[in-house]
Amino acid sequence: MKLTIPEGYSPLQDPVQTERAIKMVKDFFQSNLSSEMRLRRVTAPLFVLRGTGINDDLNGTERAVNFPIKDMDDQVAEVVHSLAKWKRMTLGKLDISSGYGLYTDMNAIRADEELTNIHSLYVDQWDWEVVMDKEQRNIEFLKRVVNRLFEVFKRTEYQIFEEYRELEPQLPEHITFLHTEELLEMYPDKTPFERETEAAKKYGAIFIIGIGGVMSNGKKHDGRAPDYDDWSTETVNGFKGLNGDIVIWNPILERAFEISSMGIRVDKKALLHQLEHEDKIERKELLFHKMLLNDQLPLTFGGGIGQSRLCMYFLRKAHIGEVQASLWPDEMIEKCEANKIFLM
């Protein structure tokens, strides 16, 4: 059982106050996200059909929860892992103009998740996606988007402070951009997670570029599916990647804390290159991939922002189960209760 008990931890809100604060965080953040990024809210599916290529396969090893559909000749549906591809298809259907997009509440079940302070079987995030122009497929544009999102995080943090004075703002004034290669150079003898933790502690908030690509040491910083984010395009100084993760320093758990992954999505060239690189070229025959290769989908950028992770950080909670209802091992529940960590 991977459980961290912060020394001297005591929650700053009781369960009733926590529920009120969660609603405040979610209401304020999504309203500001919508206005800042020019997003309209849409309703999203909990499951999609297997074999269409629409579901996100994350690192390629996680099993999707699935079930047969009685009234559809037992075709198999899969609970989504994320909505990265579905959002892009929906933008095409709605014929949304460049510079505008959508967001939705994404709910998922990840049965293979290792349960820890920050990982749950239940995943809730704001999935968002925006239509873009071809000329915007560059690292400078990606950084501008990240900076805009970070401003929404900071506004939300300050709004919470106005209501709960014990929750003093801790995010830095600016987010720092680092490529996976730069992290490797800075901390060559550490694991990817240790590099993130050292950098997050130093800068407060970082955006790690190039998730999914192979680094100069022959390894990946972390996995990313080959068919939504573009992690193979050449960028500044020979570094590759038009995607990344927003990682902040968590002072309660004293570790790196990922709250968002995002990126400029693959075009036809990047899709084929990454499918070949990952030995997944057979996917080009799937529905989503055929639509992209046949110019039936818009160019987009987008990502996901963890709702419970965000609440956990802003409310200074030690366990994600303090801000969401899920299932936990009995041993974890008992140990948490003994240390003033009350799981929903």
pLDDT digits (tens, 9 = 90+) for 257-285: 999 999 999 999 999 999 999 999 998 99
Cα–Cα distance measured from residue 51 to residue 287, given in angstroms and rounded to the nearest whole number: 8
Residue 279 lies in a domain: yes
Cα–Cα distance measured from residue 332 to residue 284, given in angstroms and rounded to the nearest whole number: 43
Residue 217 lies in a domain: yes
Residue 4 lies in a domain: no
Residue 118: is its pLDDT beyond 90?
yes
Residue 172 lies in a domain: yes
Task: List CB contacts of 60: < 8 A, sequence separation 6 or more.
Answer: 223, 225, 278
As for how many domains the chain has, the answer is 1
Query: What is the rounded radius of gyration, in angstroms, for the C-alpha atoms of the chain?
Result: 20
pLDDT digits (tens, 9 = 90+) for 61-97: 677 888 899 999 999 998 888 788 899 999 999 989 9
The residue length of the chain stands at 344
Residue 85 lies in a domain: yes
Residue 6 lies in a domain: no
Residue 173 lies in a domain: yes
The residues annotated as belonging to the active site are 56, 110, 125, 245, 258, 261
Torsion sign over Cα 305, 199, 21, 161: negative
DSSP alpha helices (H): ranges in the chain?
15-37, 84-94, 139-163, 180-186, 192-203, 268-277, 287-293, 307-314, 330-338
Residue 259 lies in a domain: yes
Cα–Cα distance measured from residue 102 to residue 126, given in angstroms and rounded to the nearest whole number: 10
Query: Which CATH number goes with the domain that contains 280?
Result: 3.30.930.10
Q: Count other C-beta atoms under 10 Å from residue 220's C-beta.
A: 17
pTM confidence score: 0.91
